[in-house]
Amino acid sequence: MCNEFARQKQLADAIAEFDKRALPLFGWRDGLVPNLDAQPQVRIRDTAVVVRLREGRLEGDAVTWAWPGPRGAPVFNFRSEGRDFSHNDRVLVLADAFFEYTAPQAKGVKLKDRHRFTLAGEDWFWIAGIVKEGCFTLLTTEPGPDVKPFHDRQIVTFAPLAGMDWLTLARPERDLLRPGPAGTLIAQTLRKDGVDLAA
């Protein structure tokens, strides 16, 4: 499951992108701007930027990733199939990459292979999420053709403008919370059989 994503874009640059794309006006919750630089690695229990729709405006907030489950394990991913999120605190999580890990093929290598996924044709995207107990989780669905070779589940991603449909539920949830067609995501292997390919 996705236990790491990234936001390389500075917040000021991201907000400027909202305006360029004619998204609703943006402001920070209670006017408090979070002290968050670019985040090349966001991991479980880190704080990240989520965006809600409040009274026709986008509202940014800094929220911790993953609430504690009933047995104490963090709920960082949440299966979307068969659920109704119309009464949940729906959010969009700002990102420009997410990561999946697979077992290496080389014998004796313990370090897992690392793969980065980005959205084709865009330098950032949204991840569908909900907030509960003051923390957010990422919604998952069956894997699309871009992720299936790497994992049996994937997080739900939206292009910059398409994310608004999740906040407003302008389309049925079953149509929103699904993977994109082949070519939606670009996969890049960063580490294979213990060798860092990104260096």
The CATH number of the domain covering residues in 4-100+123-183: 3.90.1680.10
**Residues 107/115, Cβ–Cβ less than 8 Å:** no
| Residue 54 in this model has a pLDDT that exceeds 70 | yes
Q: Span 50-58, mean pLDDT?
A: 96
End-to-end CA distance of the chain: give it in Å, rounded: 25
157 bridge partner residues:
127
Residue 126, class by beta-carbon neighbours within 10 Å (0-12 exposed, 13-18 middle, 19+ buried)?
buried
Q: Supply the pTM of this predicted model.
A: 0.96
Segment holding 102, helix H or strand E: strand 97-102
Rg of the chain in Å (alpha carbons): 17
pLDDT at 12: 92
Supply the pLDDT for residue 191.
Answer: 97
The tokens for 16 are: 């400027």
Q: How many residues does the chain have?
A: 199
What pLDDT was estimated at residue 53? 97
**pLDDT tens-digit series, residues 148-188:** 999 999 999 999 999 999 999 999 999 999 999 999 999 99
Domain boundaries of the chain, sorted by first residue: 4-100+123-183
pLDDT value at 199 more than 80 = no
> Would strands 77-79 and 26-28 be described as parallel, antiparallel, or unpaired?
unpaired
Give tens-digit pLDDT for 110-159.
999 999 999 999 999 999 999 999 999 999 999 999 999 999 999 999 99
| pLDDT above 70 for 1 | no
